Amino acid sequence: MGKASYALELKGITKAFGTKVVANQDVDLQVKYGEILAILGENGSGKTTLMNMVSGIYYPDKGQIFVDGKEVTIKSPKDAFDFRIGMIHQHFKLVDVFSAAENIVLGIDDGQKYNLKKAKQRIREITDKYGFQIDLDKKIYAMSVSEKQTVEIIKVLYRGADILILDEPTAVLTPQETQKLFAVLRNMKKDNKTVIIITHKLHEVLEISDRVAILRKGKNAGMVNTDEANEQILTEAMVGEQVDLNIERKEPKDPQTRLVVKRLNVKNRQGENALTDINFSVSSGEIFGIAGISGSGQKELLESIAGLQRCEKGSSILYTDSDEVEQQLVGKTPREIRKLGIAMSFVPEDRLGMGLVGNMDITDNMMLRSYKNGKSEFLDRKKPRELAETIINDLEVVTPSTSTPVRRLSGGNVQKVLVGREIALEPRVLMVAYPVRGLDINSSYMIYNLLNEQKEKGVSIIFVGEDLDVLIALCDRIMVINSGEITGILDGRTAKKDEIGLLMTKTNGGADNEAK
């Protein structure tokens, strides 16, 4: 082994879904031994599909795969492991009630008796070698996202993978956790393992990779050595045209307090505090950012304002508009809030599970907010259809027609439909949760522009984000929350990324530091 020039080579890989969607077309790729290769591309450019074919989830329609210079057929993830290829998916596949060690050994049939103690010893060899920090006896449900990811990576290494594929590994991590992950990846590289990392974050590509393969619309769009690349070059290769990467930020015009949250306490289903003593206020014409590790209470906070959460006694959310009448929102249902004449729009994190109905077409989804209007017992589908057509035109939604079920649309288009509908309500308060998650660069900038437009109209915007660079560039103020508590409210114009990162993990010191 080791004679071949490439650890992994793909030739002319083509994969289509149905007759219309071609996910990959004639893609070639060469991966060297002991390198970190980044696969860069916008969402829907076929990165994940390509790697799924290498890891045995899909089977290519055409093309050849070579491992160590030999042509192979990979029919299942098990085959992939036989060729020492392991993939860490974006959505973790772990058993919640099992411990880390149990998950790692799960499903391995090596013909020997199940011996957790021995297995743990072997796992520990791996963790020491690459510098993982993990408590092997900790149950998955008690773990942070970063710990779960660590378990997934160890799982793949334990199965003897020499080629590791990581699908958007940093999407759920804080800057500090990302650094830890990168350190581990560098250790693997030293050990002559081959790492393929799928991503669309440019600065990470530049930081960690040796070479970058770029995909655009399912086809090869270039392969560059990282030290010869910069953000502008990569973006242009990825998008296929010049893109302005600056986000504009105007000073809020005539800001007036619109929303005052006081002593907001919310308990989750288990009776634990999801939000503790939250106090802040949002003005008209500002973008108020919220940063935090996912699951720090962002969802509960937005849902409390929208009238979807039960708040504890003493909580107060006051809404004031230009008429200067204060309205208490706590204890009201979404419908009651609307009846008060408060136009509040909410783009929830769970787009297809909450904001939209996946099985309904675009027109019917447009009606979700407005179908109750009018006295008639029957639906008026004419106006929603017109709205659907307007949004499809204005926001460049790619869809066969207004009667296409939204679940068939790509992530970016789903989000455009949702944001478009919420903005069409002409809100006074607009709440958006992770509005650009999974969106390509052009769509993301379109969303930022839409938010800025609303800001100029005097709308109060609450923006829950995960990309700190974007939060710093877009928001007027940034509130950092951690485990349901505010750890700081910063000025967006002066805030530093490290500072926010530290606040995100402040009070409990970060769950993953406790391990070990």
Binding site for other proteins (CB under 8 A): 17-21, 59, 67-68, 70-73, 75, 79, 82-83, 306, 308, 333-335, 338, 346, 348, 350, 353-360, 364, 367-369, 371-372, 376-379, 408
Check: CB of residue 37 under 8 Å from CB of residue 54. Answer: no
CA–CA distance, 55 with 49 (Å, rounded to integer): 10
Q: How far is the CB of 357 from other proteins (least distance, A)?
A: 4
Q: Which CB sits closer to other proteins, 73 or 508?
A: 73
Q: How many alpha carbons lie under 13 Å from residue 367 in its C-beta half-sphere? A: 19
Q: How far is the CB of 358 from other proteins (least distance, A)?
A: 7
Check: CB of residue 372 under 8 Å from CB of residue 355. Answer: no
Q: Which CB sits closer to other proteins, 91 or 335?
A: 335
Q: How far is the CB of 218 from other proteins (least distance, A)?
A: 16
CA–CA distance, 147 with 130 (Å, rounded to integer): 15
Check: CB of residue 281 under 8 Å from CB of residue 263. Answer: no
Written as six digits, the tokens of 149 are 């990811």
Check: CB of residue 46 under 8 Å from CB of residue 23. Answer: yes
Q: Which CB sits closer to other proteins, 21 or 243?
A: 21
Q: How far is the CB of 364 from other proteins (least distance, A)?
A: 7
CA–CA distance, 398 with 442 (Å, rounded to integer): 13
Written as six digits, the tokens of 170 are 């940093």
Q: How far is the CB of 432 from other proteins (least distance, A)?
A: 14
Q: Which CB sits closer to other proteins, 132 or 346?
A: 346
DSSP classification of residue 381: -
Q: How far is the CB of 457 from other proteins (least distance, A)?
A: 23
Q: How far is the CB of 73 from other proteins (least distance, A)?
A: 5
Written as six digits, the tokens of 57 are 């989830």
CA–CA distance, 364 with 362 (Å, rounded to integer): 6
Name which of 6, 8, 88 is nearest 48 in CA terms.
88
Strands, sheet with 326-328, edge to edge from the N-terminal-most edge strand: 273-283, 257-267, 316-320, 326-328
Q: How many alpha carbons lie under 13 Å from residue 298 in its C-beta half-sphere? A: 28
Q: Which CB sits closer to other proteins, 232 or 333?
A: 333
Q: How far is the CB of 502 from other proteins (least distance, A)?
A: 34
Q: Please, what is the Cα angle at 399 between 470 and 444, to 5 degrees?
A: 5
Q: How far is the CB of 451 from other proteins (least distance, A)?
A: 20
Angle formed by the axes of helices 497-504 and 175-190, nearest 10°: 100
Q: Which CB sits closer to other proteins, 151 or 423?
A: 423
Torsion over CA: 445, 410, 348, 93 (sign): negative
Q: Which CB sits closer to other proteins, 271 or 400?
A: 400
Q: Which residue type, as a one-letter code, is found at position 380?
A: D
Pairing verdict, β 257-267 and 273-283:
antiparallel
Q: Please, what is the Cα angle at 201 between 206 and 211, to 5 degrees?
A: 35
30 φ/ψ angles, rounded to the nearest 5 degrees: -125, 130
Q: How far is the CB of 418 from other proteins (least distance, A)?
A: 11
Structural element, H or E, at residue 75: none
Q: Which CB sits closer to other proteins, 65 or 392?
A: 65
Q: Which CB sits closer to other proteins, 22 or 29?
A: 22
Q: Which CB sits closer to other proteins, 365 or 483?
A: 365
Q: Which CB sits closer to other proteins, 126 or 308?
A: 308
Q: How far is the CB of 10 from other proteins (least distance, A)?
A: 15
